[in-house]
Amino acid sequence: MKFHAILFAAASGLAVAASTGPGFAAGPTIDDLMKDQDNPKSVLTYGIGTQGQRFSPLATLNKTNIKNLVPAWAFSFGGEKQRGQEAQPIVYDGMVYVTASYSRIFALNAMTGEKVWEHEARLPEGILPCCDVINRGGAILGDKIFFGSLDAKLVALDRMTGKVLWRKTIDEYDAGYSYSAAPLIVPSKRGPLLVTGLSGGEFGVVGRVEARNPENGELVWSRPVIEGHMGMLDGKPSTMTGKANESWPGDMWKTGGGATWLGGTYDPETNSIFFGTGNPAPWNSYTRPGDNKWSSSRLALDPDTGEIKWGFQTTPHDGWDFDGVNELVSFDLKKDGKTVKAAATADRNGFFYVLDRTSGKFISAHPFVKNITWAKGIGEDGRPIYTDGGRPGDPAQAAAGEKQGKSVFSVPSFLGGKNWMPMAYSKQTGLFYVPSNEWGMDIWNEGIAYKKGAAYLGAGFTIKPIFEDHIGSLKAIDPATGTVKWEYKNKAPLWGGVLTTAGGLVFTGTPEGFLKAFDAATGEEVWKFNTGSGIVGSPVTWEQDGEQWVGVVSGWGGAVPLWGGEVAKTIKNFSQGGMMWAFRLPKQVAAK
């Protein structure tokens, strides 16, 4: 196929489109998105279904024939921007839509890997991304592809040409706001809504969840997640989040953090949007006594109004940067002869939580990493049982001449037992597959004052490994008991997402560059391929021309090289990159 480029000039971006390409259908509907997990011929949502299970019904590829999985094509994102490729691709109608670092998005021919168009945001000077220049993915609906940029803008593109259809500002990038998550599209009484959060928790921004009309980008509702702030609905003030000063002292709530930087999931059965909220600001917890709601929490929101249905705080009065943004995955829990509409999350704080997704009621929590120091466990009420002396010291109580409080060694580190990288749930095995890390940190508090656009931490830290032979650990967890059924140990930290399939496989990538597949029941490694750079993206699978395909982006980066302390030193020579890889199981060897 020959492609002839057409240049579309845009005020703040570049789109290069092909004059020929796949025969484009009208585009997926909201009903198509809701049925995404059951349609093996496409990948329409971040999470392979709005519930975020990352389970594919495809069973052609299995542990016996996976030896025949071969590369079909590889596409380079090009240029010098070769780092931090954390995206999950979207696959539809013979096209792959994949975002890349520095706020870029590409449309590729799914059969050949040839570029159809690209769009690159023209980022201004002075952007303030906390944790590398990453982008985790886009969203698709009808004739549009949506994605966000590091200068806190949301863009809608024509999915056939890459032409900009609309662009909206989420907030001020020079105040610390940015955007890197994949948008979420949900149904509502007024039609589909495009739902987003925002990044910037280390700059004292206040997190919020917002819904927009996907046709024109106009704001429908906005819900701040920190108590005391007013929501908006149809351009007018709606209701306050919580009660002012109920769990925040003075004016601390005004710069209270709680960034909603990972994006959310949607459960059609309860008609609920689930979002996680980030750390309270600043990190120095002595400046803000109280639970600091709703930081480090999981929230359920009404898609029609943005009202909070329920909240569950995993780390009240967080003093370790144990962000609560990790994805909340809906599933049906079978326990004691009953089936409960549940949801699970593997928190940065090192505990694996199961909640009743209809009410937010706490069901259970079990440690999924070893040697946790900050808490002795989780009580029957779902609140942590704090360890005496486990919190870094108050700098106000430091000895004369000292500027920092007492340092403590805390496990896990602030990069978490699990960070952003999404886990997967298998409907076959009933297990969650959790990409985790075993590490700790020296952490201490310092004095701090808020300044717009400046880092708002009030803490210092150094991350250290706690085992000699591994940091990364892919764990298969039984949500009914918290039992770890099997574990794969990796020398370097794991920082990429997980995929599981009806063929009994689990896929994930490593910083060493390998895409690996494991037996979902036993953890046996059954296949690997080196992509040339560390994998920190999320793999997908789809059916194309009667064959099963697997895709993943490759390109080492993210928070670990930037914030990893002693750990970062040990992996400083890992190769950066920027590639989309596609693999296929040829028909003639599928049965071998």
In one-letter notation, the amino acid at residue 39 is: N
| Residues 6+ away with beta carbon under 8 Å from 215 | none
Separation of alpha carbons 16 and 480, rounded Å: 50
In one-letter notation, the amino acid at residue 209 is: V
Q: How many helices (H) and strands (E) does the chain have?
A: 3, 42
Per the DSSP assignment, residues forming a β-bridge with 199 are 178
Check 318, 321, 323, 347 and give the catalytic one: 321
Cis ω for the linkage preceding 282 (within 30 of 0):
yes
If you search the block for the tokens 């010291």, which residue do you land on?
393
Exposure string of 534-572, with b = 16+ CB inside 10 Å and e = fewer, is bbbbbbbbbbbeebbbbbbbbbbbbbbbebbbebeeebe
Separation of alpha carbons 374 and 409, rounded Å: 9
* CA R_g for the chain: 22
In one-letter notation, the amino acid at residue 26 is: A
Contact 552/506 with Cβ under 8 angstroms?
Answer: no
CA distances from 390 to 5, 157, 314, 396, 397 (A): 59, 49, 17, 17, 16
Neighbours of 302 (CB within 10 A): 15
In one-letter notation, the amino acid at residue 202 is: E
CA distances from 71 to 112, 320, 411, 551 (A): 11, 42, 39, 10
For residue 321, indicate whether it is catalytic: yes
Contact 326/420 with Cβ under 8 angstroms?
Answer: yes
Per the DSSP assignment, residues forming a β-bridge with 551 are 540, 582
Q: Which sequence positions are flagged as catalytic? A: 321
